[in-house]
Amino acid sequence: MLPFELQIGLRYTHAKRSNHFISFISIVSMAGIALGVMALIVVLSVMNGFQEELRARILGVAAHLEISGPADQLSDWRGVLLQAKQNKDVLSGAPYVNAQGMLANGDNVRGAIIRGVLPDMESGVA
């Protein structure tokens, strides 16, 4: 015996003897719905993959956590880093300085963000 859903589906795809046009319309309608659902599944899969890739790229460039003091200065960064590393979820840390600058080459002038790091410590967080 066929499953209930399949029985209903087959009942509406087969036309009565007099009208084969209804059967054609039913099949085209079901094919259109199936194609739409397939397209929706593909688009959702692509968007989920894109979202994960974007998240990985952003987290690869930006830090997961930044600690700063008043006026964006942290004079005792070594003590703060040691205290942060006591947390089991903190794997590594490194200080950096951020500044804005201008780059000029002849008539070409561009704004730039300058980031200074300690090379020996930066490799642990990059």
Binned at pLDDT 50, 70 and 90, residue 117 comes out as: confident
Measured distance CA(126)–CA(123) in Å, rounded: 5
Query: Would you kindly state where each structural domain of the chain is located, as residue ranges?
Result: 4-60, 66-122
Look-up of token digits 């087959």: 10
Please give the pLDDT value at position 103: 93
3-state SS of 20-45? HHHHHHHHHHHHHHHHHHHHHHHHHH
Q: How does the average pLDDT of the chain come out, rounded?
A: 84
Cα→Cα distances 121→22, 48, 95, Å: 73, 34, 8
**pLDDT tens digits for range 41-92:** 999 999 998 988 887 777 666 677 788 888 777 888 889 889 988 999 888 8
Look-up of token digits 């593909």: 42
* 20-61 helix and 4-13 helix, angle to the nearest 10 degrees: 120
Binned at pLDDT 50, 70 and 90, residue 39 comes out as: very high
